[in-house]
Amino acid sequence: MSSTTSRKSRLTVALRESSDDLLRYFLRRLDREDAADALADVMTTAWTRVDALPDEPAEARMWLFGVARNVLLHMHRSTVRRSQLADRLRNELTLRSAPAADSGAEIRDAIDRLDGDLAELVRLVHWDGFSLVDAATLLGIPSSTARGRYQRAREALRRTLAPIAN
């Protein structure tokens, strides 16, 4: 039996013997779903680094817990980074979106009152800057259908907003 095959066999045994303890380790620190993901990460990492697996069963178990600790630290760092990024994005959006609270509210309300397909078409064209053909592609409809819907939406908006313009 080759050295790699022997290590893979020992890793299988070590994981079988330690997986319940590793899962409990994670469950004490994470919610159930994240604990299962973390255990899967340990198994994947251990498999890719099987050549580093110690020969002695007790040392192999400690090695697996070392991998588990590194997985946990990595998960924590990733969570902190995501949270910091979300905070920065929230702050940036708050600074950028300082128009008057009711600026364009009548138009947004009128668009919201359109049928869902019409409203989305108007939003894609006017808010997101897509051409009518590109908006049709995004909505999965023929461009001729999009043109007809767009005309209906414009007429409905014109009727709804006419009293405001006067």
CA-based max dimension of the chain: 89
What is the C-alpha separation between 19 and 75, in angstroms, rounded?
19
- What does each of the 166 residues of the chain score in pLDDT, given as a tens digit? 567 678 889 999 999 999 999 999 999 999 999 999 999 999 999 999 999 999 999 999 999 999 999 999 999 999 999 999 998 888 888 877 655 555 677 888 888 888 888 888 888 888 888 899 988 998 899 999 999 999 999 998 888 888 655 4
With 0-12 CB in 10 A as exposed, 13-18 as middle and 19+ as buried, what is 124? Answer: buried
pTM above 0.85, yes or no: no
Q: What are the CA-CA distances from residue 155 to residues 7, 74, 116 (Å)?
A: 73, 55, 15
Would you say 71 and 45 are in contact if contact means Cβ atoms under 8 Å apart?
Answer: yes
Say which amino acid occupies 141: I
Q: Report the pLDDT value the prediction gives residue 102, as an integer from 0 to 100.
A: 57
Degrees to nearest 5, angle at CA 9 with 6 and 13: 135
With 0-12 CB in 10 A as exposed, 13-18 as middle and 19+ as buried, what is 28? Answer: exposed
Q: What are the CA-CA distances from residue 91 to residues 82, 85, 133, 166 (Å)?
A: 14, 10, 35, 38
How confident is the model over 115-140, as pLDDT tens digits? 888 888 888 888 888 899 988 998 89
Would you say 132 and 122 are in contact if contact means Cβ atoms under 8 Å apart?
Answer: no
Q: Report the pLDDT value the prediction gives residue 103, as an integer from 0 to 100.
A: 60
Domains and CATH numbers, the chain: 3-96 (1.10.1740), 105-165 (1.10.10.10)
Would you say 54 and 67 are in contact if contact means Cβ atoms under 8 Å apart?
Answer: no
Q: What are the CA-CA distances from residue 49 to residues 1, 8, 13, 33, 69 (Å)?
A: 19, 10, 15, 24, 15
